[in-house]
Amino acid sequence: MSIFLEKKWSMILQIALCLYCFPLQSEATPQSVFLSKFEQICTEDRLNSREKTAYLAKCASELGIPFERVPTHDQPLLQFRLKKTWELLDAEHHAFYLQLDNHTLASFDEVADDPFLVLRTKVGPRHSPFDFIQAQANLAHFKIVDLEEWPEFFEDFISEITLHPEKQGLEPNVNVTEILAGWADPSTTFHLSQSNCELIWWQIASDKNFELIVSNFNQIQPFVDLIELDSLSETFLNPNQKYYFRLKSFQDGEWSAWTLPQVFTVQKPAQIKAPTFSKIQEGQYKISWEGEDADTTYWVFGSNALDLVPPVYRIQSEYEVPAYESLETTQTFIEIDGSYAYYRIIPEKNGRYGVPSEIIRVYDEGMFHTRTLLQYDGKSISRRIFPRLLEPQSLEKQPKFIQHPHVPDEAWEAVTPYLLPDNHPYRSTLDRIFSKTRVLHNEASLKSAGFTWTKKGSFSPVYPTLHKKIKGYYIKVFTDSQDKTDWKNWVARVQGAKSIQKSIDENNYQTLFKVPKKYIYPLPEKPGPTGSGKKRKNFILLAEDMKIFRHSLNKEMYRYRITPTHLNAVYKVVTEVGLVDSLYINNLPWAKDGRLAFVDTEKHHMWPIAYQRYTKILSTGMQQHWKLLITHQGPNF
């Protein structure tokens, strides 16, 4: 009986606790309150564009939400730190910009990396239809090509005004009779009942409360009995996800109440996943991806224009369409010759297009593209070339980074041959990240700037970081808090990688081994370190991600996959280049393409080699072969 009573009281306490906690969980968060105010401020006719931005900043301050101004021409534009990420909210244009997952709000960095996020978004009041030329003008006012220090926001906060909630009207005299969004429908359409109303106001949202609505789906227009989404607005809809449609009518000077939301889903091919770019051989490259739908055609568009909108969207512009190539395949890969810098993949099935992929960036040493982007120069909008490297140059000519006063001549002379090429696709991204704040101040500043890392099991003082905007690379750094000289370490690592690659090539070991490409990136002069006890760091190292297996799998693979051919080649390269630190499982791991990767290249041309340390990670049979290699100083037996 006592056990029964204990269980009963335990259950009652759990229920009571849940009932107590429920009101706390259901309370509006500062972020949700702020986003609600954003919608109200955008529609407030008593405020002009600048006042709307200032009032939005005032609301953010009151709710304790950090904000900052981003680089634009003319009107100030702010982004806000919501849910630990920066998100652009454009009060002037009553718009926000969704990333291509169609869930996550974009920051300035995401817009700068992929202008399509802006080009597909309607700007302007609710009664304005989507206009691609206006979207291009909006994009051009983002300062993407000309990097500069991020501006301060000095607007005086305006006095308090009362934001009026939306009035509830009479019953609507129009309704939805049918929604067509299937495989047989060329576009998503909404059929409405006949009505004598003057205007209709319709909305589409991914939540039934319509808390945050994409500007393309928040439209006031004269009454029509058929609403058809344009092809760019369709890119905001994911397949098989619930969406909600509602509308209201305007008649005799008064808006009605909203109709009950109607739920619908869209049938279209899924967006591709995990696009990767790889080199097959000189002048021959491959883009591969994961696709979910059978019988899908993949359209692959390449261009040197960062802002190319693929022609499947049938847009009209007053600017000349930049050169592009259009490829078609039913496979989940395609080979290219590297003629263009940017590629994007759009799946198509039964005439329905899926959400476009992220941009795939093409780059190889000695490959040069004239990249362009529409930008405003203070007077007019024109297509700008970026970065500064306009003509192909021989590899002997060095990238155009500038030595600033904090970099000694000795250091600059040493790093110059190994600097990140000026036309590297991540050059502008790195410039934006490191010109905004002093990222290397300490661990906290690294994390705040979006860097992640693990030093578990590492004896090195180097931070091997990752950043979601620098895909395919590890970014290795020292912080200003560390009493280390950065450039000597980075130069040694790049020289080691080049020496290993030379040995691999000369011995025709390309099918057995690989080594990461490594580049040195010089940090901008400003912002510099602050506070006492800081040792300024001027460089970081980018190392290509070798896509290696995790440690436990590597141990297994060393037991059953390695062959005498592998061991002969390992002995040859390690001996030739003097790689005293390479004979550890973590420094010479298996990569997912079936090759061994020389990932630690710092110590090279150093002898003697402690060959015995490699023995313990091998199988019994391979241990015997390795011992013979040591005894005979190579495969001379």
Which DSSP category does 616 fall into? Answer: G
Beta bridge partners of 585: none
* Confidence label for 20 from pLDDT (cuts 50, 70 and 90): very low
Instruction: Name the CA radius of gyration of the chain, rounded.
Output: 29
Starting at the edge strand found earlier in the chain, the sheet holding 189-192 runs 176-180, 189-192, 226-228
Q: Does the pLDDT value for residue 38 go beyond 60?
A: yes
d(CA 79, CA 432): 15
d(CA 269, CA 105): 23
Q: Does the pLDDT value for residue 148 go beyond 50?
A: yes
Residue whose C-alpha is closest to residue 215's, from 38, 411, 469: 38
**pLDDT of the residue at 163:** 62
Max Cα–Cα distance, the chain, nearest Å: 100
Least confident of 3-12, 299-308, 431-440, 622-631: 3-12
pLDDT digits (tens, 9 = 90+) for 217-239: 999 999 999 999 999 999 999 99
Least confident of 162-171, 568-577, 613-622: 162-171
Distances from the Cα of 50 to the Cα of 92, 393, 581, angstroms: 7, 46, 60
Higher pLDDT, 392 or 108: 108
Q: Does the pLDDT value for residue 370 go beyond 80?
A: yes
pTM for this structure? 0.83
Token pair 């009281």 in the structure block, residue: 9
Q: Are the CB atoms for 600 and 523 separated by under 8 Å? A: no
Tell me which amino acid residue 115 is.
P
Percent of the chain with pLDDT over 90: 70
pLDDT digits (tens, 9 = 90+) for 476-489: 999 999 999 999 99
**pLDDT of the residue at 19:** 37
**pLDDT of the residue at 402:** 86
Q: Which two tokens stand for residue 369?
A: 């593209």
